[in-house]
Amino acid sequence: MHEDVQRDMRRATRLSKQAILFTHQQRFADAGKLLKEVNELFAKLRKVAKNYPDMIYSGIVDAAFQEYAEAQTLLHLVEENSFIDPEELGVPAISYVLGLADVIGEFRRRALDSLRKGDVKTAEKCLQTMEQIYVELMSMDEAYMLVPGLRRKSDVARHIIETTRGDITIEARRSTLEECMKNLEKIVRSKKKR
């Protein structure tokens, strides 16, 4: 029984990670299918937990819930521009909060992908989402005492946000400079023709 739960939770974690990749690739339907499969694995876990409640509190289950919360939150934010709450996900609040903290790193990835494509506006929106999540995490003072690992994840998130802000600022200035140079080039060309 224990081995089955471990196998299922490893699969749930793997599928959630894959759903995150699909979300980054804009393959939302594929991500949704994988997350539905993960939800089915959790339904199976809940049935087992009725007879073996200690199963729900093992580390591998926590990791699976956390990865699932991260994947679902990312998908909702990217696809629908809205948050999903832990009750709707059916995950413990602690797993939800830790998964939410990890979403900040996924939005850094989206911001960098946008910058590579020259899309500074989307990168700025990603930064706004990252900051919004961080502010929400920081507003939960008591959570730092109740959620193991949240302080460390918040510190990492703050660093990620500051680094991303720097990357976006540099790219925005570079884009502005490039645009100014193109305009100057047009002016010089038009004066040469006269």
Distance between CA atoms of residues 154 and 170, nearest Å: 24
CB 105 within 8 A of CB 133: no
The model's pTM: 0.86
Handedness of CA 163, 67, 100, 73 (dihedral sign): positive
Q: pLDDT tens string for the chain (194 positions)?
A: 678 888 999 999 999 999 999 999 999 999 999 999 999 999 888 888 777 767 676 677 889 999 999 999 999 999 999 999 888 998 988 899 999 999 999 999 999 999 999 899 999 999 999 999 999 888 876 777 778 888 888 899 999 999 999 999 888 888 777 777 887 788 777 777 76
Distance between CA atoms of residues 66 and 192, nearest Å: 63
Q: Can you give the residue ranges of every domain in the chain?
A: 2-193
Q: Which CATH number fits domain 2-193: 3.90.1520.10, 2.60.40.1120, 3.40.50.720, 1.20.58.2140?
A: 1.20.58.2140
